[in-house]
Amino acid sequence: MKINRLVQFGRILLSFLFVFGAVSKLVSMPFFDGMVAELLLGKNYFDNPSGMTWVQWLTRVLVAIELVLGLALLQGKWFIKIVLPATMGMLILFTIHLFYEGFSQVNGFTEGNCGCFGDVLPMTNLESIIKNALGMLAGIFVWIKYKKEDLFAGWVAPSILGLITLFTLSFGIKSYEAVTPAVVSDLTFVTPPVKLPAADTTNIIPESELPELEKKAVKKQTPPPTPVAEPKKTATTDEVSDDLPQEVTSVIQQTPGDKTLQLLYTYAPAIASQNLAYSSKLVCLFSMTCSHCQEVYRDLSAMKASGKLPNLYLINYGTAYEQNYFFTQAGDANDPHTRIEEFSNFKRMLEGKTYPRILYIKDGKILQEWDVDTYEKVGFMKYFGIEKLEEKKEVGGLQLELQDGASPW
């Protein structure tokens, strides 16, 4: 009898792993789509619309297979011939993939999210390998000890499916406590400062509107009147036109940084409230379902305690639910931010770069920028003169141990 109970427990454990994995991927499909697309199509997968169509079909087929196997593990039909071998096969294939990912990346076993449980329960590759190893041990035990009479009652499968689904969806429950918003939703669009020709004095900004620190540097000057030669009485029409002042059209050449700022003001107008022309800011473009973005924001949140990091402003792409989860994972929702849902607008602001994209803006100029290919935590800290992080930091109810140049996750 004890053997039968252990066999049943092993089947329930395997079913839990597969059903939980399937349902968690269903509630975070954009995240799972992105992981598979980056693996098959590369980091610029969003520039391949036809490839993304096939990737989305593949991810949905994988989720369907995972869910069917999870339910079949609680049934008796073809259990030894088909269900259990297919279950073991999937565990072995995914474990091989996890080893490949771990060896092919720096800190590939201990950082990032393997995606086994979507964004619901992030796990590193090493944690997922351990989970799969336990599942394979349970599968081997069930394979050896299983008997045809070891059947579950008819109510067991639907009950377990309901409980696992409820358990998975409970991770998405969020707090509705009233908090002061970091960014006012309705902000008037402010056009960024525009360079004027030297001779045009009609649009000079009044001294009272300039920052207090710049008042001393401002000197009012009244340009002398421009002398105009009187036309000769006997001059021909052509001669008169040569003597009169000619209107010259001046063209101001935009730098790449100017174009980037104009894109930010156009597609994320709320950023105008940050007064970028007279301040120092780190403007971060994050996708809410991107594990790299979550890791980078966790890094930045930990660096703020040094007091050397400029103030952050986030431009977040995704739904309100995804943004709430992003801040929960990253551990800090106090930085000013604005959210956009149009990916085409977000992509324009990326300018061909891959998120996360970080812009260091000071006095209206972009001094430095990083993206997923160029961001490296230790080098980023050295750029701002941050030597070490504080030892302990409370984040979302969890206490993290932080070391020099190490990621808290």
Q: Which of 84-88, 117-121, 342-346, 390-394 has the lowest mean pLDDT?
A: 390-394
Residue 230 has pLDDT above 60, yes or no: no
Convert 398-407 to b/e letters by CB count within 10 Å (16 or more is b): eebebeebbb
pTM value surpassing 0.85: no
Q: Which helix (H) or strand (E) holds 259?
A: helix 256-267
Task: Tell me the range of 41-50, 207-216, 315-324 where mean pLDDT is highest.
Answer: 315-324
- What is the predicted pLDDT for the residue at 171? 78
What residue ranges define each of the domains in the chain, with the CATH number in brackets?
2-172 (no CATH), 256-401 (3.40.30.10)
Given a cut of 50, is residue 153 above it in pLDDT? yes
For residues 281 and 389, the model is more confident at 281
Report yes or no: 112 and 329 within 8 Å, Cβ to Cβ: no
Say which residue, 46 or 408, is predicted with more confidence: 46
Distance CA 20, CA 5 (A): 22
Q: Model confidence over 55-99: pLDDT tens digits?
A: 999 999 999 999 999 989 988 888 888 999 999 999 999 999 999
> What would the mean pLDDT of 1-30 be, rounded to a whole number?
85
390 pLDDT band, cuts 50/70/90, is low
Q: In the predicted model, is pLDDT for residue 254 greater than 90? A: no
pLDDT of residue 238: 46
**pLDDT value for 89:** 93
Task: Specify the range with the lowest mean pLDDT, choosing from 17-21, 60-64, 218-222, 325-329.
Answer: 218-222
> Nearest Cα to 356, choosing from 294, 263, 274?
294
Q: Which of 58-62, 299-303, 338-342, 398-402 has the highest mean pLDDT?
A: 58-62
Strand pairing of 357-362 and 365-370? Answer: antiparallel
CA distance 125 to 148: 36
Using a pLDDT cut of 70, give the percent of the chain over it. 72
- What average pLDDT does range 377-402 have in this prediction? 67
For residues 68 and 75, the answer to whether their CB atoms sit within 8 Å is no
Which one has a higher pLDDT value, 269 or 230? 269
Residue 62: exposure state from Cβ atoms within 10 A (0-12, 13-18, ≥19): middle
pLDDT band of residue 246 (cuts 50, 70, 90) is low
Report the pLDDT value the prediction gives residue 145, as an integer from 0 to 100.
86
pLDDT tops 90 at residue 354: no
pLDDT at 241 over 60: no
3-state secondary structure of 247: coil
pLDDT band at 393 (very low <50, low <70, confident <90, very high): very low
Task: Please state, in angstroms and rounded to a whole number, the distance separating the CA atoms of residues 402 and 91.
Answer: 33
Helix intervals (H) in 27-173: 29-41, 49-72, 84-104, 125-145, 156-169
pLDDT on residue 367: 93
Phi/psi for 337 (5° steps) reads -155, 160
Q: What is the pLDDT of residue 239?
A: 46
Calculate what percentage of the chain has a pLDDT beyond 90: 28
Find the mean pLDDT for residues 219-224: 48
Q: Is the dihedral of CA 63, 30, 16, 129 positive or negative?
A: positive
CA distances from 24 to 39, 113, 229 (A): 20, 13, 81
Mean pLDDT of the chain: 76
Give the count of beta carbons closer than 10 Å to the beta carbon of residue 17: 24
Average pLDDT of span 238-266: 64
Task: Report which of residues 378 and 319 the model is more confident about.
Answer: 378
pLDDT, residue 333, reads 62
Res 399: pLDDT? 40
- Contact indicator for 332, 395 with CB cutoff of 8 Å: yes
- Number of Cβ within 10 Å of residue 73's Cβ equals 27
Extract the tokens encoding 366.
Answer: 């972009």
Would you state the pLDDT for residue 178? Answer: 43
Give the integer Cα–Cα distance in Å for 91 and 143: 15
User: 3-state secondary structure string, 136-151?
Assistant: HHHHHHHHHHCCCCCC
**How many CB atoms lie under 10 A from the CB of residue 277?**
13
